[in-house]
Chains A and B, each alone.
Chain A
């Protein structure tokens, strides 16, 4: 056993010396390889953690949201709907939600104005999300004015700022009283943006949604399951511009690896010829090259994965922020809870480490089984 270990160590010594002779080329390869793993692992860790966060956080979203559609567009719920819904068996609670969008020309950002159904807010005051407070430089007690869509100016006092660690759901929220909301958007009493429903028996949700669709042909029920599914698919593994770019990078790397693997350089061929001429067996040459591939690919995987972990969970995925941000002015500051899927990491390991190791072995084996004289002569 000791002799075997010692032999492997000598092979590694020799491999490393051989790699050191082509330092620039091999370091370049290691760098590109590490970058590819970093990019793939970052996307994988980020999307998985975000999907998990969405599932966890939105598990408490309304069971059914009922929108009214007019000419294919979302419209206000008129008076009378809430009462009619109450007559459907199985509906436990029904509440009209009041919310809407406001474009703030000062910072060119969109806010979500909302009336909380379970929280009393004094007239003339606002609770704002931490992202919005940051964008406008607001603190508790400050005054802020908004020009409504009718042209009238409304002034509010900031009564509170929502917790900054909840920015992922609240960065752009502006919470205000029902009276202020109706006055600001000129929405008459009895009208609502949509209706949130809760259902007594969770197994009945689909039945109730179909009853709603039958009784209110102009309405569109959105189930919590659909909300969760939306977020499940938004950051799906196969989707998104980042992965599209990453696939190009992978393709480029595949060409590089294939080039290196399939066409041995004259130097490498001569090296194999000399090794065979001085008495190395084919198996030894293969083992030596196996160590070369294994060392490079494992180093690239380990460094790339570690860098991705730090990027996503310790540096708040700062490289992805510009991609996600798009043209938005308000972007939440959030720290994802590191949920790591071991199976995904294993898959990444398999698809990044093994193909490279295998691709380097095949041409070496071809060169190693030919006559040393022929190999040296090229």
Chain B
């Protein structure tokens, strides 16, 4: 019996991996179907309860309801209340907030 060539083994392994990736797309379609009911249920709950946000970050009120938070939530509690929750590093400030403000600190004539 001839010994399997390295190239055959490698190409078969690669073909298997490609088939598995293709199978992952089929699996995704199947999972989408399986989980569609949960999506519909969540949608209904959002309409019924008039919800506005995902319940992803529950650690602070301005991360629990990202879309309803105060505009300057990082400093909302007191002037030294700098952003300290880890979630804050995942959430960038709205673009409109950063775009509308000039960088005046670099133009000040009075030295700090």
Contacts and interface: CB of A to CB of B under 8 A. Distances in A.
Contacts of B8: 9
A170 B58 CA distance: 11
A302 B55 CA distance: 33
Contact of B7 (A9, A110, A226, A298): A9
B31 interface: yes
Given A169-B46, A337-B39, A332 B61 contact: no
Interface string B29-43: 001100111110111
B82 interface: no
A40 interface: no
Contacts, number: 212
Contacts of B68: 65, 67, 74, 194, 222
A350 to B, nearest CB: 15
A146 B105 CA distance: 47
Given A101-B64, A230-B66, A339-B32, A65 B41 contact: no
B76 A298 contact: no
Interface in B43-59: 43-59
Contacts of B39: 53, 56-57, 337
Contacts of B89: 240-241
A54 B10 contact: no
Contacts of B59: 110, 326-329
Interface residues of A, number: 82
Interface in A185-228: 194, 196, 222, 226-227
Contacts of A16: 6-7, 10
A302 B18 contact: yes
28 contacts: A9-B7, A57-B43, A61-B50, A62-B50, A65-B68, A67-B68, A72-B70, A72-B72, A119-B49, A166-B45, A168-B42, A169-B42, A170-B55, A173-B49, A226-B67, A230-B94, A234-B66, A299-B13, A299-B14, A302-B17, A302-B20, A303-B17, A324-B90, A326-B86, A326-B87, A329-B59, A332-B56, A338-B27
Given A13-B6, A116-B49, A329-B59, 20 more contacts: A9-B11, A10-B7, A56-B39, A57-B39, A57-B42, A60-B44, A110-B60, A170-B45, A222-B68, A226-B67, A236-B92, A295-B10, A302-B14, A305-B24, A309-B24, A313-B27, A324-B90, A327-B87, A329-B58, A339-B32
